[in-house]
Chain A
Amino acid sequence: MSRHHDDWTHGEPRLVLGVCDDCENRWYLPRDHCPRCGSGRSSSRQSSGDGLCVAVTRSHVTGEVGGAPLSLALVQLDEGPVVMGRVRDELVPGDRARVEFVPDGTGTALVPSFSRRALT
């Protein structure tokens, strides 16, 4: 069963994870079956949006003529899965990061954007 896409890709400002009902494996991109145990039974769970930044790039190629450089990051969420997002302000691998949703990107109103988050 595919999960309901009521997340940022459909205008809702949140990251939604899939959780396997049988083995509790978690994933980010939509999947019809758990890649670990093969189960077709899964549920959706909203992510806290907090995690560890594991990669950042400042990209000067955008696929658009004259497109301005942009920064992307990979953040490993505290729930486990890795999410790609834009970067707000300064962020380097190893930083704690938190997601916000901002109007940006090339085709959607809101995109996930990560910024540095002080340890609390």
Chain B
Amino acid sequence: MAVSAFLTGVGLTPFGRLPGRDSQDWQCAAAQIALDDAGLDPLRIGAVIAGYSTVSGHLMPANVVAERLGVRPEVAFGMSVGGATGLAMVAQAASLVASATAEHVLVVAGENRASGQSSTTSTKILAQVGHAHYEVPLGGTVPAYYALLASRYLWSHGLDDAALAPLPVQMREHAVATVGAHFRQPITVADVLSSRPVAEPLRLLDCCPVSDGGAAFVVSRAPTSERSLSIVGVGQGHRHQHLSALDPEDTGAARAAGAALRQAGLDLAEVDVFGIYDSFSITVAMIMEELGLAPPGRAGAYARAGAFQADGRHPLNTHGGLLSYGHSGVAGGMAHLAEVAGQLRGERGAAQVSDCEVGYVHADGGVLSAHVGVVLRKGSQP
């Protein structure tokens, strides 16, 4: 199958509590890195897609960032699909270049969510992914929604509260070696279990932090260098919005992955490196299991056995994921793709996965509500 879209530029800033930049500052910083990486002048960009920022809340995020970067695109729009926004923008960019609407599309997101917003405000804004009349008035928050998923998961598989803890421990182990990660101090299962309860059974270390930071990509109709990667498949699944309507057997994750892999003409077994959304320990466990990368109820045990290390069976989130690289809103879910791109380019040094040809990246938004999967392949032969 002829490849019709290429990842030509990757930009990822450090994540953390890094005061001094606002949302547009983070977006432009990341966009500049991506443009330099692609070797493109801003005026070559034909379309700009920008993710929402909960801090700036601007109605026209793509136009704001385009003006500041000196881009005058033919197409510009903002997108919001929660945590899936970053990959949904990449999917949209791929279709814009495939249809020849643009030669080069800039995809960008970033915000100062950690230093520019109180944690109470953050919690309140994010809680709105719950139902305004049937869930939020009960005191629902995003950690509580995912805690309910975790409670159901642990109960239905007969597991105890320690079952998910190896997942954040593994993510932290990856982040220890990653420059730019929000948290780089090693942690143990005992640390996870003794961290303060946030929404039981989830504890602080089961939850990703709130970070400042930005991420950007350039998606092009043709490669711009040997480092360009092929976007060989995208797939989505949108089965519900609210937790009360979620089917734990079919959240949409496997549908998204299946569609992306079918388009790529590849099997899951052919994927060498994974970047899977991990807003909470339970998030990545449920997605990995629905995709078939771990048997039901076994994602934590797989992590404990080393299956998700760089030299493990399914190298996973080798930058540290949302749980440890950090979560700066839309940019948080883009960091997984930036990492997988780094792996496919063979540029990850000590963290490099060997013989890395194919990568799969997956993001979810809401309460496992919106799913987007992207398959990347090394090499850029059109």
A73-97 interface bits toward B, Cβ cutoff 8 Å, 1 = contact, 0 = none: 1100000011111100000111000
Instruction: Using known A-B contacts A72-B148, A86-B139, determine if residue A60 contacts B199 with beta carbons closer than 8 Å.
Output: yes
Contacts of B134 in A (CB 8 A): 9, 28-29, 84
Number of A-B contacts (CB under 8 A): 112
For chain B, residues 70 to 122, give those with C-beta under 8 angstroms from any C-beta of chain A.
120
Does A105 sit at the interface, judged by CB under 8 A? yes
Q: Which of B120, B124, B143, B148 contacts A55 (CB 8 A)?
A: B148
Does A108 sit at the interface, judged by CB under 8 A? yes
Q: A35-B245, A57-B148, A61-B198 are in contact. List 17 more A-B contacts (CB 8 A).
A: A27-B245, A59-B141, A60-B198, A63-B120, A63-B139, A72-B144, A72-B148, A74-B151, A84-B135, A84-B138, A84-B140, A84-B243, A86-B139, A93-B152, A105-B137, A108-B137, A111-B138
The distance in angstroms between the C-alpha atoms of A9 and B134, with both chains bound, is 7
Contacts of A82 in B (CB 8 A): 244-246
Q: Which of A57, A64, A108 contacts B144 (CB 8 A)?
A: A57
Contact across chains for A58 and B200 when beta carbons are under 8 A apart = yes
Instruction: Using known A-B contacts A54-B155, A84-B134, determine if residue A63 contacts B123 with beta carbons closer than 8 Å.
Output: yes
Contact across chains for A106 and B139 when beta carbons are under 8 A apart = yes
The distance in angstroms between the C-alpha atoms of A54 and B144, with both chains bound, is 14
Nearest chain A CB to B368 CB, angstrom units: 14
Contacts of A65 in B (CB 8 A): 120
Contact across chains for A64 and B120 when beta carbons are under 8 A apart = yes
Contacts of B243 in A (CB 8 A): 74, 84
Interface size on A, residues (CB 8 A): 38
Contact across chains for B138 and A60 when beta carbons are under 8 A apart = no
Does A62 sit at the interface, judged by CB under 8 A? yes
The distance in angstroms between the C-alpha atoms of A86 and B148, with both chains bound, is 12
Contact across chains for B199 and A57 when beta carbons are under 8 A apart = yes
Contact across chains for A70 and B201 when beta carbons are under 8 A apart = no
Contact across chains for A94 and B155 when beta carbons are under 8 A apart = yes
Q: Kindly report which residue of chain B lies nearest to residue A66, judged by CB atoms.
A: B120
Contacts of B199 in A (CB 8 A): 57-61
Q: List 7 A-B contacts (CB under 8 A).
A: A57-B199, A64-B120, A74-B151, A84-B140, A86-B138, A105-B139, A106-B138
The distance in angstroms between the C-alpha atoms of A89 and B242, with both chains bound, is 26
Nearest chain A CB to B132 CB, angstrom units: 9
Q: Kindly report which residue of chain B lies nearest to residue A31, judged by CB atoms.
A: B245
For chain B, residues 14 to 34, give those with C-beta under 8 angstroms from any C-beta of chain A.
none
Nearest chain B CB to A4 CB, angstrom units: 14
Nearest chain A CB to B253 CB, angstrom units: 18
Nearest chain A CB to B45 CB, angstrom units: 38
The distance in angstroms between the C-alpha atoms of A71 and B112, with both chains bound, is 31
B233-247 interface bits toward A, Cβ cutoff 8 Å, 1 = contact, 0 = none: 000000000111110
Contact across chains for A59 and B137 when beta carbons are under 8 A apart = no
Contact across chains for B244 and A28 when beta carbons are under 8 A apart = yes
Does A56 sit at the interface, judged by CB under 8 A? yes
Q: Kindly report which residue of chain B lies nearest to residue A93, judged by CB atoms.
A: B155
Contacts of A74 in B (CB 8 A): 148, 151-152, 243-244
The distance in angstroms between the C-alpha atoms of A85 and B294, with both chains bound, is 31
The distance in angstroms between the C-alpha atoms of A17 and B136, with both chains bound, is 19
